């Protein structure tokens, strides 16, 4: 059975979803605002999120973008809106499926089962990666832990995903478009999202954009992770041309 987060401000609909999902032996948590939803996914692990678009504090489309910046949990949009262009936009922005209200509980169950099958199949296909080491950095993707010079790093989910993705390609410049696709699971988005997470990650690595050690940004090209030049075995930095 699955752990489900229901994000719905209509108390009648919310209660009906909770009752149905609980009767189907799912573990259910529910909230009525986008801010509460973001707090939930930051603190708990869910198998699927059912997201209404008409939330009181933030439009569900914006909430979806913010959810995608911190988690890759499958999201099923459940709303009364049926505009095809909006459905396509939301699917492109990271939604895994879309249900138009009113819908039957059987329809929801079938969509949830399909999304969960795809999610679990994708996870089963990926072999467990080994520990990644870049200079003094050590990243264990399986345990989702990271250390710098033997000291543990306290990273958010997205910070860890970003660091692990770059550590798997040490010294390689990764385009922002690829980062959005692979780390954020988005076909397009705002570069500021990447910049903010890079800034937070740099702070935890004890460096800055002006004085980088591990994270290097090539303006207009992308980002790369490489060991500092003072790390044993690291390739020397090229001398600037005259």
Instruction: Please write the tens of the pLDDT for every residue from 24-33.
Output: 889 999 999 9
Instruction: Please write the tens of the pLDDT for every residue from 156-201.
Output: 888 999 999 999 999 899 888 888 888 887 766 667 788 889 999 9
Alpha-carbon distance of 12 to 19, in angstroms, equals 11
Segment 86-111 mean pLDDT: 86
Backbone angles phi, psi at 218, to 5 degrees: -105, 110
Instruction: Please write the tens of the pLDDT for every residue from 26-61.
Output: 999 999 999 999 989 888 889 999 999 989 998 888
On whether the CB atoms of residues 32 and 5 are closer than 8 A, the answer is: no
- Which pLDDT belongs to residue 236? 41
Segment 89-113 mean pLDDT: 86
Backbone angles phi, psi at 165, to 5 degrees: -65, -45
Backbone angles phi, psi at 147, to 5 degrees: -130, 150
DSSP 107-168: HHHHHHHHHHHHHHHHHHHSPPP--EEETTEEEETTTTEEEETTEE----HHHHHHHHHHHT
Which residue do the tokens 């603190």 mark? 43
């Amino acid at each position: 059975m699955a752990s489900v987060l229901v994000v719905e401000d209509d108390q009648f609909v919310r209660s009906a979803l909770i009752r149905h999902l609980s009767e189907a032996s799912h573990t259910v948590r529910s909230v009525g605002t986008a801010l509460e939803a973001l707090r939930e996914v930051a603190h708990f692990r869910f198998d699927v999120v059912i997201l209404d678009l008409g939330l009181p504090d933030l439009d569900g489309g914006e909430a979806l973008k913010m959810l995608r910046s911190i988690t890759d949990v499958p999201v099923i949009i459940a709303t009364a809106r049926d505009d095809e262009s909006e459905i396509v936009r939301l699917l492109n922005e990271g939604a895994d499926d879309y249900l138009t209200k009113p819908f039957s509980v059987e329809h929801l169950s079938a969509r949830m089962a399909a999304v969960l099958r795809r999610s679990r199949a994708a996870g089963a296909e990926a072999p467990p990666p080994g520990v990644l080491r870049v200079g003094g950095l050590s990243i264990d993707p399986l345990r989702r832990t990271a250390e710098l010079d033997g000291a543990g790093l306290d990273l958010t989910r997205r910070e860890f995903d970003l660091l692990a993705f770059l550590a798997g390609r040490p010294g390689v410049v990764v385009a922002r478009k690829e980062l959005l696709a692979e780390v954020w699971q988005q076909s397009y988005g705002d570069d500021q999202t990447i910049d903010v997470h890079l800034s937070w990650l740099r702070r935890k690595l004890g460096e800055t954009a002006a004085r980088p050690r591990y994270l290097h940004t090539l303006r207009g090209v992308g980002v790369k992770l490489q060991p500092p030049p003072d790390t044993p075995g690291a390739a020397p930095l090229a001398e600037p041309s005259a």
